[in-house]
Amino acid sequence: MRIVIGGSSGLIGTELVDSLRKDGHEVLRLVRRKPTASSEIFWNPAAGELDFAELSGCNVIINLAGAGVGDSRWTDKYKATILSSRVDSTSLLAKAAAEVKPEVFIAGSAIGWYGETADRQVDETTPAGSGFLADVVVAWEKATEPAKSAGVRVVNIRTGLVAAKNGGAWSRLLPIFKLGAGGKLGSGKQYWSFISMRDEIAAIKFLIANPKISGPVNLTAPEPATNAEVTKAMSKVFNRPALLPVPAFALKSILGEFSQEVLGSARVIPRVLLDAGFVFQDPNIESTMRTLATK
């Protein structure tokens, strides 16, 4: 297959490109600099720059582009960047998809759609929640409309917290736990909906291969865990004590508005994937943490 990917140098994109190429697919990476290889295509989402003709003949378009929500304090300027980086890139690729008509457009999204859920389980049928990230995700998914209107199959992958060694939340938590200084965050009662990197990649490939699946799909493990359970699993897997909880007020002081997401609760179930027969390699938090412990 000929697959075009935006956000190919990010945490998930890097792993996905490698995996797809190992499977024998031709992968074209969208880059914001001058291309240096035949497998690269220039684009500038902020300016709407992309030669749609270069995507001609592609079977799949995937967009994973977007500024990291935890990479900076949520100033008004950075919040605008979080929104525009997602909407601009998705809108541009949706227009490209409407013209070149791939078999499927896999559009990045997030479980931020659900907002605060406390201990209530939610799935793809649950309406959008409230809050900044929920508003971002609503706009993000709406940006795929040109592709949908053109009859292209669109899948909005609502990804949870991806467990990876080299980026994301766990790349920050691991050094702390290995020093024996890790502990629950805030009350520890908040649910974290996570997914191992290998399940994330496998799920995306599963969605590419299943033409009957469209619309929102939660990419999260089927057994979300509380932050306290996450802490317990990490303590067990890495054989380190978890004795120093981080109080809520300290997180708010350090992280600002983003602390609401760390302390918030999202108990998300991947109903579409489960109903379609997808088998998770890491269905629970302990199995997921063991993927981080391997060399």
Over range 74-82, report the average pLDDT.
91
Q: What's the pLDDT at 208?
A: 98
The pLDDT tens digits for 45-68 are: 999 999 999 999 999 999 999 998
What total number of domains does the chain contain?
A: 1
Please indicate, yes or no, if residue 55 is contained in any of the structural domains: yes
Would you state the torsion angle of the CA atoms of residues 45, 220, 98, 46, taken in this order, to the nearest 10 degrees? -10
Q: What is the mean pLDDT of the chain?
A: 90
The pLDDT tens digits for 5-44 are: 999 999 999 999 999 999 999 999 999 999 999 999 999 9
What band does 176 get if pLDDT is binned at 50, 70 and 90?
low
Please indicate, yes or no, if residue 186 is contained in any of the structural domains: no
Res 243 pLDDT > 80: no
Please indicate, yes or no, if residue 80 is contained in any of the structural domains: yes
Please indicate, yes or no, if residue 146 is contained in any of the structural domains: yes
Q: What's the pLDDT at 244?
A: 61
How far the first Cα of the chain sits from its last, in Å, is 31
- Residues sharing a CB contact under 8 Å with residue 277, sequence separation 6 or more, in sequence order: none
We report the CATH number of the domain holding residue 93 as 3.40.50.720
The pLDDT tens digits for 246-290 are: 665 555 555 555 556 566 789 999 999 999 999 999 999 999 999
Please indicate, yes or no, if residue 154 is contained in any of the structural domains: yes
Res 102 pLDDT > 80: yes
Please indicate, yes or no, if residue 120 is contained in any of the structural domains: yes
- Residue 29, domain extent: 2-163+194-221+270-276
| Residue that the structure tokens 């897997």 belong to | 237
Query: Minimal CA–CA distance to 60: which of 186, 152, 174?
Result: 152
Tokens of 126: 């649950």
| pTM listed for this prediction | 0.93
Q: What's the pLDDT at 250?
A: 56
Please indicate, yes or no, if residue 203 is contained in any of the structural domains: yes
Please indicate, yes or no, if residue 257 is contained in any of the structural domains: no
